Amino acid sequence: MDHVKNTVEIRDDGTAAFRDALSAETFLAEIRSASEQIMRELLAASETRAGEIMVVGCSSSEVTGNRIGKASVPAVADAILDGILPLLQERGVYLAAQCCEHLNRALIVDRSCAREYGLEPVWVRPAPKAGGSFAASFYNRLEDPVAVETIRAHAGLDIGGTLIGMHLRQVAVPLRLSVKRMGEAPILCATTRPKYIGGPRAIYE
């Protein structure tokens, strides 16, 4: 872990930056590649369809081997978005970027997603130390971003133990992918399914 952790320097404001351009370029390329592979596998395994929602929680601190919330790295968030966004956009899947606990794990979505699912916007703009680098980076990329307090996503990706379960539909089903970590952060993935109801006469597709 130290070989990754020592590549970043924590600033006085609690954010972090890479110590040198070479280590940054190599590490970010690895993160971009890993995030793309993870999302490609997750979309296939979850069978997420156009118009559905993928919630992603990400601790950029954990990706670089630091404690969650203690070394937010915007460049890492940008690399992850570079890897996953094209795949989601190609399939027509909405991304919901989960903020950190300082914003009560609210989510950033495009306004079109909020309208389609009847989500009521709340007024906040995420920042690296109040919302997290991932949510802040996604907010800055959207032409019409909004924050919402809760969502019921069809599938999800948790990078670094950000606890996305509160934003998944019932019933959540864990997925095992070939990639287990992104940088130093463990990843957990899930899809969801409708509840089974009925008794012995019930028929399920």
Inter-CA distances, 64 with 13, 59, 68, Å: 17, 9, 10
Kindly report the average pLDDT of the chain as a whole number: 91
199 assigned to some structural domain: no
Q: Name which residue leads in pLDDT, 10 or 185.
A: 185
Domain ranges, residue 41? 2-192
What does the pLDDT read at residue 2?
Answer: 46
96 assigned to some structural domain: yes
| Sequence-ordered alpha helix ranges (H) in the chain | 2-5, 21-46, 60-63, 74-91, 111-116, 133-141
Q: Which residue has the tokens 């130390």?
A: 129
What is the tens place of the pLDDT at every residue in 17-68?
666 665 678 889 999 999 999 999 999 999 999 999 999 999 999 998 888 8
* pLDDT at residue 5 greater than cutoff 90: no
- Residue 4 pLDDT level (bands cut at 50, 70, 90): low
What is the tens place of the pLDDT at every residue in 55-104?
999 999 999 888 887 878 899 999 999 999 999 999 999 999 999 999 99
19 assigned to some structural domain: yes
* pLDDT at residue 109 greater than cutoff 90: yes
114 assigned to some structural domain: yes
197 assigned to some structural domain: no
Lowest mean pLDDT among 10-14, 95-99, 142-146: 10-14
- Residue 13 pLDDT level (bands cut at 50, 70, 90): low
Share above pLDDT 90 across residues of the chain, in percent, rounded to a whole number: 75
100 assigned to some structural domain: yes
202 assigned to some structural domain: no
Distance CA 15, CA 156 (A): 26
Distance CA 63, CA 202 (A): 45
CATH code: domain of residue 18: 3.40.50.10360
* pLDDT at residue 166 greater than cutoff 80: yes
123 assigned to some structural domain: yes
* pLDDT at residue 182 greater than cutoff 70: yes
Q: How many domains does the chain have?
A: 1
Amino acid at 146: V
* pLDDT at residue 164 greater than cutoff 80: yes
- Residue 1 pLDDT level (bands cut at 50, 70, 90): very low
